Structure 1
Amino acid sequence: MKIGILGDTHRNKNYIDKAIKHMNDCDLILHTGDNFQDSIYIHKTTNITTLGVVGNCDFEEAEDEILFETKGYNIFICHGHKYGVKYGIEKLKDKAKKLNADVVVFGHSHEYLHEFHDGILFLNPGSISLPRGSIDRSFIIMELDYENININKIIL
């Protein structure tokens, strides 16, 4: 299964459209919030199932966290602001353990992250519109099957 992961797009359709060109063969797209409307735009543009959560800059009535299972992995998506991810991932790690998550996808900090902690994969795609900590406008293509997870950081 091939999954596109992006977030903190902040309605910058120019960079969203550039990212979408890399996701045409994805089976699923995950959007980590800020702006939730971008996840709707991505779905309408690609016709690929898109799961999005709301972030601290969103005012829509939508989920702020999603937990789902695919290919034997429990994947937890949130924006991250409720877990103070700009100051570390300890609170997010605690939540992931309670949920028995294998993969945690989050945003908010606008900084790319790809780390394992206590057997849990934490992914932050960074931001394609307003990157921090780097000039790289980034997102992720994750490929997974029942045995392996491969992460590809894509820089626009």
Structure 2
Amino acid sequence: MKIGVVSDTHMMKKFIDKSIPYLKECDLIIHAGDNFSDSKYIHNETNVGIMAVKGNCDFDNVEDELLFEVEDKIIFLCHGDKYGVKYGIDEIEQKAKSVNADIVIFGHTHIPLNIEKDSILYLNPGSLSLPRRVNYKSFVIMDIKQGQINIKEIRL
């Protein structure tokens, strides 16, 4: 399954639009918050199913965390602000272990991250609008096939 992973789009449609051709090719899109309304826009532009949570800049009455399964992998999705991700992954790591997650997807820092620790993949796609510590806007295409996870960072 091909999954587009975006975060921290911050209602900047001119940058979101650059990701649309890639996201149209996906089977699922995941949005890790800021701004939740952008997930609706992306869905309307791609017609691809989307899983999305609200971030610290969102006021929508929607979930701020989701736990779901894709291709036998348990994915924990949140924005990350409630787990102090700007200061490291210790808190989100505890949550991941408590819910038996295989993959943790979050945003908030606007900094791309792709690391594996104790057999859990921690993935932050960076930001499509306001990147930090890197000089490019980014998102991720994650491909899960036969239990194997392949991550491709797309830089805009």
Q: How does 1:1-156 map to 2 (within 5 A)?
A: 1-156=1-156
Runs of 4+ in 1 over 2 A off after TM superposition: none
The structural deviation recorded for 1:146 is 2.6
Letter of the aligned partner of 2:155 in structure 1? I
SS in 1 for 2:10: coil
Identical residues among aligned pairs (%): 55
Number of aligned residue pairs: 156
Could you tell me the TM-score, scaled by structure 2's length? 0.99
Q: Secondary structure at the match of 1:51?
A: strand
SS in 2 for 1:141: strand
Deviation at 1:148, TM superposition (A): 0.6
Unaligned runs of 5+ in 2: none
- Root mean square deviation, CA, Å: 0.6
Q: Which residue identity lines up with residue 63 of structure 2 in the other structure?
A: E
Q: What is the CA-CA distance between 1:147 and the residue it aligns to?
A: 2.3
> 2:66–2:78: 8 Å Cα contact kept in structure 1?
yes
Amino acid at match of 1:79: H
CA contact (8 A) 2:66 2:77 kept: yes
SS of structure 2 residue aligned to 1:126 = coil
Q: Give the structure-1-normalised TM-score.
A: 0.99
